[in-house]
A and B are shown apart, each in its own frame.
Chain A
Amino acid sequence: MSDIILETRGLTKHYGGVHALDDANFILRRGEHVAIVGDNGAGKSTFVRQITAVEKHTSGEIHFDGSNVEFKDPLEAREAGIETVFQTLALADDLDVPSNLFLGRELFRLRLGPFSILDRKAMRERTMEALKTTAVKIPNVDNPIRNMSGGQRQCVAIARTAAFASKLVIMDEPTAALGVQETAQVENIIRGLKERGVPLILISHNLRQVFDLVDRIVVFRRGRIVASLNKDETDGNDIVSYITGVKSGGDEPAFA
């Protein structure tokens, strides 16, 4: 078994004339935690959407868990073992917390095809367990999440991902809307994933957090990967100069 869990070769996405992602060659090893950093519009979320088959990529290949994959929809990507916290969260506002946590993978009391009977009690119990790991404050999980704060909603999305984490976890700016305590808790969840050996792609604008949590930092700039640096061999200033374009990928070996 190869020690590479995810590899993209020449992954490219154009929206009409917009080159949102160009020729991305990316490697993630088993158990490895990698951060993706870059300015707004650098193509980070676009990269995630290609891997998780939310969108069809323009060209390039994705290899996951030893085979060349061509997921036809997000369900297939998830069934293959990729759990994602999307930047847009992908929550249904009119549903309560347990329904959102188990959206698309409900637990059943009785299987009757589309009319399978939900096991609401089990889903609720497992939701409470999952939420405890995020230390989120939610007054009543049975309310629709429409009225919840941005941070509460984010914790729901993170709890969902952490609870079902299997082969690969991707988090797109998971702590963007969170308070100090909740951020610390999410960082703990990420450390827990590391201990369990679950590989992670973390997208974040918070360099302190990135240096705290991951093994390697990949810098995106204008749709291209311009640097891939081991945490120990770089520092904040170095990363910032790649993000802003003061340094460019041509100067050094760009990636492993």
Chain B
Amino acid sequence: MSHATHGLGGLKYDPAKRTRPQELNVFVALVLIVVTFEVIGRLFLGDSFLFNTRANVDAVFNTARLSIIILQVSIVGIIALGVTQVIISGGIDLSSGSVVGATAMVTMSFAQTALVNGNPNPKAIFGDWAMDLPVLVPLLVGLVCGVIAGVINGTLVAYTRIPPFIATLGMMVTARGFSRWWSNGNPISFPTESYAAIGKGMMPVAIFVALAILFHCVMTYTRYGKHCYAVGSNEQAARMSGINVNHHKVLVFALAGMLAALAAVVLSSKNLTAQAGMGVMYELDAIAMAVIGGVSLQGGRGSILGTVLGALIFGVIISGFTFLRLDAYYQEMVKGVIIVGAVVLDQWRQRSRSRG
């Protein structure tokens, strides 16, 4: 009790005993899950999840597995950063996976190279004018695509009072249709070297980490971040306090669209191709990462750090199932259970909070 200070009006307050931040709980969960896989692996497979068991390699950790995990979650993680902001503001975005598909198609069309092994590009979408453009062009085109989709989402939600669930469901279907229409269902391939460099190697991880840091700062230190929490916490109060709630919603969805577009750029660059079916179900994975990370579907609570940890948990579980040699079908089912479980956990947390 030596650290006890006095709050306003002489109430005692011990800063050492303040409630644990949500992120710490998520981190503990992450550690527990890793330990569980490690134990199960040692007991039943005689193999380690985390550590390197092959004698001829001198790394302590199983770096191959770990880098696969973070690479796997990085691209959906980029989407989850935007989804986090939408959910904290009291909304939901079901369109991000389709926006990834649509954006990847459009972007790739401007990222193609003219000659493939000396022959004209067999997958060319446009004429020569769109070949070998500087990498900035497809990048900007992609971001603009995502922002347009986001602004449409945000405008629908803010000004027509359509629930975000329905508005973004509409965008989900429309954007997917758009990506099939764009090249009549054909994949678009053979990007320029500079475009291919964006998603090469561990670049997706670097981009994810950089964006996570950026948006952590945005959510913590800027007016926009504060207003996300305010609008999600009590929209009416935010309105009465003079926050332009409608503008805020448009901005949130625009940023989410932009982040989905960035994910599309990274993904198409990494795969060296864009297909109409790209990003299917990514929206649910992204929502799951956020919810696992402690972002409340009721709005007002959660953080970027939480989502990053949630993304890691997500990746560890998927990779853990591969490690245990469980079938891909099980993985899908487990994903579903995780999503519902995380939401139930959130509801339960809230009930215990209001009782306490």
Q: List 17 A-B contacts (CB under 8 A).
A: A74-B239, A74-B242, A90-B236, A92-B238, A92-B300, A93-B234, A94-B233, A94-B300, A99-B226, A99-B230, A114-B222, A116-B223, A137-B7, A137-B10, A141-B7, A141-B8, A147-B356
The answer on a CB contact under 8 Å between A95 and B230 is: yes
Once bound together, how far apart are the Cα atoms of A224 and B271, in whole Å? 71
Could you tell me which residues of chain A, from 79 to 115, have a CB within 8 Å of some CB in chain B?
Answer: 79, 84, 86, 88-95, 99, 103-106, 108, 112, 114-115
Chain A residues with CB under 8 A of B229: 92, 94-95, 99
A74-B241, A115-B222, A117-B222 known; A138 vs B233 contact (CB < 8 Å): no
- Asked if B244 is at the interface (CB within 8 A of a chain A CB), the reply is yes
Interface string of A53-95 (1 = CB under 8 A from B): 0100000000000000000011100110000101011111111
Could you tell me which residues of chain B, from 2 to 33, have a CB within 8 Å of some CB in chain A?
Answer: 7-13, 15, 18
- Asked if B243 is at the interface (CB within 8 A of a chain A CB), the reply is yes
Residues of A at under 8 Å CB distance from B?
52, 54, 73-75, 78-79, 84, 86, 88-95, 99, 103-106, 108, 112, 114-118, 120, 128, 131-132, 135-141, 143, 146-147
Once bound together, how far apart are the Cα atoms of A90 and B234, in whole Å? 8
The answer on a CB contact under 8 Å between B13 and A95 is: no
Partner of A103, one of B221, B230, B244, B353: B230
Chain B residues with CB under 8 A of A112: 222
A94-B300, A138-B9, A139-B13 known; A104 vs B241 contact (CB < 8 Å): yes
Chain A residues with CB under 8 A of B344: none
Contacts A94-B300, A94-B301 supplied; 5 other A-B pairs, CB < 8 Å: A92-B229, A103-B241, A108-B223, A137-B8, A138-B7
Interface residues of A: mostly helix, strand, loop or mixed?
A: loop
A84 CB, nearest partner CB in chain B, Å: 8
The answer on a CB contact under 8 Å between A138 and B11 is: yes
- Asked if B345 is at the interface (CB within 8 A of a chain A CB), the reply is no
A123 CB, nearest partner CB in chain B, Å: 10
Chain B residues with CB under 8 A of A95: 226, 229-230, 233
